[in-house]
Amino acid sequence: MELIDYESGKSLAKVRVAHSFFQKVFGLTIGSPLEEGQCFLIKGCRGIHTIGMDYGIDAVFLDKAGRVLAVYENLRPYRVSSFIRGAENVVEFKAGFVSKNGIKAGDKLDFF
């Protein structure tokens, strides 16, 4: 699956999905870190943490239509995001991805 910028149709990243409860809770603290051009999708999520991680991430919170509600850039290790009202999914990236790709609140992202 790929993450797409809805307006331009540009592919932004290949998607790794958290399928199990265990993967949702532990996220990127287990397994290999994200590579360039990858993101990590957590469905049904309104808030995240970076407890146990040794690197920062960017996090984008999406509503059910794929609209960006909130963006956290370089969320450092051992931090917790706010709970984002209306969020249905969170997409996590290597730190710096959001600014490099100009992702901001109000943008629409899609999965293909």
Residue spans per domain, the chain: 2-111
Which tens digit of pLDDT belongs to each residue from 70-97? 999 999 999 999 999 999 999 999 999 9
- Number of alpha carbons in the 13 Å side-chain half-sphere of residue 76: 0
Model pLDDT, residue 30: 81
3-state secondary structure (DSSP) of residue 111: strand
Span 22-27, average pLDDT: 88
Model pLDDT, residue 29: 86
* Domain at 2-111: CATH architecture: Sandwich (2.60)
**Entry pTM:** 0.94
Please tell me the distance from the alpha carbon of residue 100 to that of residue 106, in angstroms, as a whole number: 17
